[in-house]
C-alpha cells in the first residue's frame, strides 16, 4: 500500500543534524551489548538492565484521526521503533478528526501510567491542560505531525508547515506562471497545522503575483468534500487549479477531476503520499504532492521518548522536511511502495 512506506526523501532528512544526533545515540545504545547479552538482560537491549527483569517501557502515541490514510505509515514507524528498541508502543486515537475525543485518549494514557506520550496537537490551545497534567505526573509529551508550542510539549517532530505551504505555493506558481484563480482546500477550518500551510501557500502566491485564491473547508467526509469542490467549480469556472493542504482534500480533488472529466482543464496538487493522489499524478490528472515523511514522524517519536526515559537525553525538534513528488519522480516513489520499502 502506497501510504505505508518512507519516501525517497528519507536520506535528505536523515542528514539533518538533529536526526543524525538521535540516530547516532540510538545506534550506540543498541550496540552496547550483543543480541545474546540483550536476550539475557530482559531489558530490551539496554545494558543498564543486564541481570534484571526491568519491565518494558510503555509509550502511547495519540493521533487526532487514526482512520485517515496518512497515519498508516505513522503507525508503522511507531511499531518498527518499538520492535527495534524492545519497548511497548500503542498507536491510538479517534478514527476521525475529533480534538475533544483525542484529549480523552491522552487522559486515558495518563491514567494508565505510561512512560511517555506522543501526540498530534492540531489545535493551539486545546491541549494545554492535558499536556500539563501529563508532565506534572512525570509523563513526558512529544508532539508529532501537528504542533502546539504553547502546550509545553518537549519537542516537535514533523514538517515545518508554513515552509511546506510555501513549497506548495512555489509549485503552483511554476505550473501557472501567468497566475489566475485557484481553490485552496483544507479538511478542517482552524486546524493549526493546516492554517500554517494555507498561510505559506498564499504568501508564496502573493510574492509570485497575479493570483487570487479562495479557501474551502471541506470536512473529513470524502463524499461531502467532493461535492463541495464540484459545486465551487460550477460556480467559478475560471478556477485554474484545486490544491489541498492535506491528504483528505487531495484524495477528494483527485476523484473530482476524474469523475467530472476535468483533466487538462484544471490543475491539482495536494499533501502526502496516498494512492488516490499518486495515481492521479501518474495519469496526469494531478501535478504534484508534498511529502512530509510520516513514517519518520512515528519512528522518531518513539526514539525520542526512549532516549529520554532510558538515558535522560532531552527531546529535540526534528523537521522531517519538504519533498515535492511530481510526474518526474512519482514512478520511483510508487515502485518503492510496491517493493515494500519501509
- Residue 282 cell numbers, joined: 501518474
Both 131 and 15 in one domain: the answer is: yes
Euclidean distance between CA atoms 142 and 153, whole angstroms:
5
Both 201 and 299 in one domain: the answer is: no
285 found inside a domain: yes
- CATH assignment at residue 99: 3.40.50.2300
Both 308 and 298 in one domain: the answer is: yes
Beta strands 156-158 and 141-144: pairing type? Answer: parallel
DSSP letters along 81-114, please?
HHHHHT-EEEEE--SSS-HHHHHHHHHHHHHTT-
339 found inside a domain: no
Domain containing 307 equals 2-159+293-322
Both 150 and 166 in one domain: the answer is: no
CB atoms within 10 A of CB 239: 22
107 found inside a domain: yes
Both 226 and 305 in one domain: the answer is: no
330 found inside a domain: no
Both 21 and 54 in one domain: the answer is: yes
Both 271 and 297 in one domain: the answer is: no
Both 147 and 270 in one domain: the answer is: no
Both 223 and 304 in one domain: the answer is: no
- Encode the chain (342 residues) as per-residue pLDDT tens digits: 333 333 333 333 333 333 434 444 454 444 343 333 333 333 344 544 444 567 899 999 999 999 888 898 899 999 999 999 999 999 999 998 899 999 999 999 999 999 999 999 998 899 999 999 999 999 999 999 999 999 999 999 999 999 999 999 999 999 999 999 999 999 999 888 899 999 999 999 999 999 999 999 999 899 999 999 999 999 999 999 999 999 999 999 999 999 999 999 999 999 998 899 999 999 999 999 999 989 999 999 999 999 999 999 999 999 998 989 999 999 988 776 554 444
* Number of domains comprising the chain: 2
219 found inside a domain: yes
Specify the pTM.
0.77
Amino acid at each position: 500500500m502506497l501510504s505505508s512506506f518512507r519516501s525517497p526523501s528519507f536520506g535528505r532528512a536523515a542528514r539533518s543534524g538533529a536526526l543524525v544526533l538521535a540516530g547516532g545515540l540510538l545506534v550506540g545504545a543498541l550496540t552496547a551489548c550483543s543480541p545474546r547479552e540483550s536476550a539475557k538482560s530482559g531489558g530490551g537491549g539496554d545494558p543498564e538492565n543486564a541481570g534484571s527483569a526491568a519491565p518494558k517501557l510503555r509509550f502511547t502515541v495519540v493521533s487526532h484521526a487514526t482512520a485517515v490514510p496518512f497515519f498508516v505509515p505513522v503507525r508503522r514507524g511507531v511499531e518498527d521503533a518499538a520492535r527495534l528498541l524492545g519497548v511497548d508502543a500503542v498507536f491510538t486515537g479517534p478514527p476521525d478528526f475529533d480534538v475533544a475525543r483525542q484529549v480523552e485518549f491522552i487522559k486515558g494514557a495518563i491514567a494508565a501510567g505510561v512512560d511517555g506520550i506522543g501526540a498530534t496537537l492540531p489545535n493551539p490551545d486545546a491541549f494545554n491542560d492535558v499536556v500539563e497534567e501529563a508532565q506534572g505526573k512525570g509523563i513526558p509529551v512529544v508532539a508529532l505531525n501537528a504542533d502546539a508550542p504553547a502546550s509545553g510539549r518537549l519537542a516537535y517532530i514533523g514538517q515545518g508547515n508554513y515552509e511546506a505551504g510555501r513549497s506548495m505555493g512555489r509549485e503552483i506558481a511554476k505550473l501557472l506562471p501567468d497566475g489566475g484563480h485557484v481553490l485552496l482546500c483544507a479538511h478542517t477550518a482552524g486546524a493549526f497545522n493546516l492554517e500554517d500551510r494555507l498561510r505559506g501557500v498564499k504568501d508564496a502566491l502573493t510574492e509570485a503575483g497575479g493570483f487570487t485564491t479562495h479557501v474551502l473547508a471541506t470536512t473529513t467526509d470524502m463524499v461531502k468534500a467532493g461535492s463541495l469542490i464540484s459545486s465551487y467549480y460550477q460556480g467559478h469556472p475560471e478556477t485554474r487549479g484545486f490544491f489541498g493542504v492535506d491528504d483528505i482534500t487531495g484524495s477528494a480533488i483527485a476523484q473530482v477531476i476524474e469523475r467530472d472529466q476535468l483533466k487538462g482543464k484544471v490543475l491539482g496538487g495536494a499533501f502526502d503520499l496516498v494512492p488516490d493522489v499518486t495515481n492521479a499524478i501518474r495519469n496526469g490528472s494531478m501535478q504534484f504532492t508534498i511529502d512530509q515523511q510520516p513514517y519518520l514522524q512515528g519512528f522518531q517519536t518513539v526514539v525520542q521518548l526512549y532516549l529520554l526515559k532510558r538515558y535522560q537525553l532531552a527531546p529535540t525538534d526534528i523537521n522531517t522536511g519538504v519533498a515535492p513528488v511530481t510526474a518526474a519522480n512519482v514512478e520511483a516513489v510508487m515502485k518503492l511502495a510496491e517493493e515494500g520499502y519501509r
